[in-house]
Amino acid sequence: MSKQDTIKVALAGAGAFGIKHLDGIAKIDGVEVVSLVGRRLEPTQAVAEKYNINHVTVDLSESLARPDVDAVILCTPTQMHAQQAMACLSSGKHVQVEIPLADSLADAEAVVAMQRESGLVAMCGHTRRFNPSHQWVRRRISVGDFNLQQLDVQTYFFRRKNINALGEPRSWTDHLLWHHAAHSVDLFAYQAGSPIVKANAVQGPIHPELGIAMDMSIQLKTENGAICTLSLSFNNDGPLGTFFRYIGDTGTYIARYDDLVDGREEAIDVSKVDVSMNGIELQDREFFAAIREGRQPNASVADVLPCYEILHRLEQQLD
């Protein structure tokens, strides 16, 4: 593919996160979504009409068979991620799979093995690597102006019923460990610049209908001595989202998605960190840039595999 060619994309999963990707892609030159895959045809067609996408299907294999599709973005249920990612690679398509890469270490390893065999671009949506707030902190770490000593993370939602980010019924069950903890486990090792060597977890009662733990606490330590405390809940009826407190030798920083403040809640301008303040858009830009440049992206499936090794260790403790 030349740098002038339009990258043609199939997007699978026309729900809350699929729409976030469609909004981000609309701002990226030289990329066109040519196929949209959804679980139900009628609502998928409605999304396709809004974003001027001509091909709509409820079968991913139909999109993969299209010769004009260069790459696929998977925003489908967690349980489908690994098998669908491998289907994309086996069809000769570059693939970005939303977080998590898989819900088991064996499946994550299988995706990485297939990527290495194919040589195609395969990326996982570890968005925190791309949020301007976290990029700003990483730059301070990279030049030696800030050494991370502790990362305190709170991931809080109110999901006592099986609903998605739009408040609509979900066809699958979300998971605190394999989805939400994946963001922070990966970010912690990435920002610390050191592998995680200690990992502990406890969880609260299992929900009688959803079959998952609704509360979880995780402790981590890297080889270079940094520590992380991660609290997760689907029971929190209060401020929602994920909040990161970086404590280091020269300051304290609190990241809330794409915004950043210091320890005194004074705003830090991160608007010039990258070309956008939208982490999903920046993530997609990296995916398409890697395709054009013939390289593996930041947050390639191989890059993030250590995160899934840690999640596997934690799951064994919880079991």
Q: What is the CATH number of the domain that holds 156?
A: 3.30.360.10
3-state DSSP call for residue 41?
A: helix
Instruction: Please provide residue 271's backbone torsions phi and psi, each rounded to the nearest 5 degrees.
Output: -70, -20
Same domain, 263 and 293: no
Tally the residues of the chain: 319
Whether residue 42 is found in the same domain as residue 159? no
Whose CA is closest to 172, among 88, 80, 90?
80
Q: What span, in angstroms and rounded, lies between the C-alpha atoms of 206 and 185?
A: 22
Q: What pLDDT shows up at residue 76? A: 96
Q: Which residue has the higher pLDDT, 237 or 118?
A: 118
**Which residue range is the domain that position 153 belongs to?**
131-273
**Whole-number percent of the chain with pLDDT over 70:** 95
Provide the number of structural domains found in the chain.
2
pLDDT at 257: 79
pTM for the model stands at 0.94
CA distances (Å), 208 to each of 173, 211, 314, in order? 13, 6, 22
Co-location of 236 and 102 in the same domain: no
Confidence band, pLDDT 50/70/90 cuts, at residue 258: confident
Q: Do 143 and 21 belong together in one domain? A: no
Q: Are residues 12 and 87 in the same domain?
A: yes
Percent of the chain with pLDDT strictly greater than 90: 87
Cα separations (Å) of 23 from 20, 50, 234, 242? 5, 11, 27, 22
pLDDT at 3: 65
Q: How much is the pLDDT for 196?
A: 98
What's the rounded mean pLDDT across residues 217-246? 95
Q: What is the pLDDT of residues 143-189, one digit of tens each?
A: 999 999 999 999 998 877 666 555 666 565 678 999 999 999 999 99
How confident is the model over 295-316, as a mean pLDDT? 98
Residue 55 belongs to some domain of the structure: yes
Closest CA to 116 of 248, 318, 310, 303: 303
Average pLDDT, the chain: 94
308 belongs to a structural domain: no
- Is 261 contained in some domain? yes
Confidence band, pLDDT 50/70/90 cuts, at residue 133: very high
Q: Render pLDDT for 201-220 as a digit per residue (tens, 0 to 9).
A: 999 999 888 888 999 999 99
